[in-house]
Amino acid sequence: MQGALRRQKRVLRCKHEEDISQEDEQGFNPFRDHADSDDGVDYLDNTNATQLSSNAENTPHATATHDHTQRPYIYRVGRKFANGKVHRAIRTLFNECFDGAWATYRDVPKELLDRMFDRFRTRYNWDQANDEAIREGFENVLKDRFADIMSDYRTKSAKKARVAGFDFPDDRLDFEAMSKFPPRFVHSGIWEELCMGWNTEAWKKKSVKRRNNRKKVDNDDVISRHTGGSRGYGEHRIILERALGRPPTFRELFLATHLTKESKNNFWDGLYDESLDGAEFCTARSRKAYEAYERSMLEKYGEDVTLHPVGDADLWERAHGRRGFGIGSSDPHFIVNGTPSSSSGSASYAEYQRSQEHVLLNILCSLVLSFNI
């Protein structure tokens, strides 16, 4: 049985590589390119191969380009884009435009955001009816990533200072020394001003508090984390929906991002019953969060899990707060329920799929009309 399953997976992988090769010849493919990140997704390699093969055959592949420049077509999912490539592109734009001592996102002037978004337009294509929603998603990425960007700048500056001979511990930055070593993209005068702002007791106290929160451990003395890699939860949801051929339940999404690799393999191979006896979570906290949610779902919707909805964001938030554990900065309604809090400019993978079929039909009609002329 296991040997047959492995053979099916090899066939599926070969078929997938063949499809991608054909798509590369035909142009941009939104289904392949939408949720493409650097890190691998181990739960996809272990999803039932027969089921995935069937889904792959039944998924329409739009192969037409969206405009003459072949800019990737994007759409908003929840608060952002659920697309690592797009999020990294926004980070790159910020680096390119960084020209002020902005210690917080609130300090970034609107004029700069306008300039960045104008550049963003030259790199991506979207339905102009959703322009306002795309702009909001663009800014949400920056808001959520700003603290990490500044932290990355400080880390790179500290590394340069240490290489130059300045000796200070990792957890106690020497801003006076670092002020002489600006990171790439940041002007020396701006970097000196930022370092002066950080080199205060008030900022250092806040920094220590944030660092302690990040290092908070659960009952097993393991730093709270997940096993989903660098992808956001929204991106994982879209990948799972594409792989399964249906919206994944929040249960499936949570397990795909919080079980250890071996337990994920067993879960997708159907080796666990509803109790998940023997399954290993990445932390004790994640197991407790999952079990509490499952109990709440059974109490509210009954013992027959086939009659349960995809998820219940209200139950999850009630147990874990509005930005509940396992959600991060993502839209909780999209992550748990599969539907965005606001539908303006947002879409599920299925809705996006239908929109691409409509776009492809319009392009084909335009081609037919041009030949008739």
pLDDT tens profile 121-168: 999 999 999 999 999 999 999 999 999 999 999 999 999 999 999 999
- Residues 223, 362: Cα–Cα separation, whole Å: 51
Q: Which ranges of the chain does DSSP label H, i.e. alpha helix? A: 2-26, 30-34, 42-45, 49-58, 84-97, 110-121, 131-163, 175-178, 188-198, 201-214, 233-244, 250-258, 261-268, 284-301, 313-320, 332, 349-372
Degrees, nearest 5: CA angle 184-189-191? 50
How confident is residue 233, by pLDDT bands cut at 50, 70 and 90? confident
Most confident of 11-20, 72-81, 292-301: 292-301
pLDDT range class, residue 193, cuts 50, 70, 90 = very high
Q: Report DSSP state, residue 248.
A: P
Question: Region 174-191: what's the mean pLDDT?
Answer: 95
pLDDT digits (tens, 9 = 90+) for 74-108: 988 878 888 889 999 999 999 999 999 999 999 99
Mean pLDDT for 268-274 is 83
Enter the pTM of the model.
0.66
DSSP 73: B
Residue 306 carries which DSSP code? Answer: G
| C-alpha to C-alpha distance for 273 and 264, rounded to whole angstroms | 13
Lowest-confidence segment of 11-25, 38-52, 287-301 by average pLDDT: 11-25
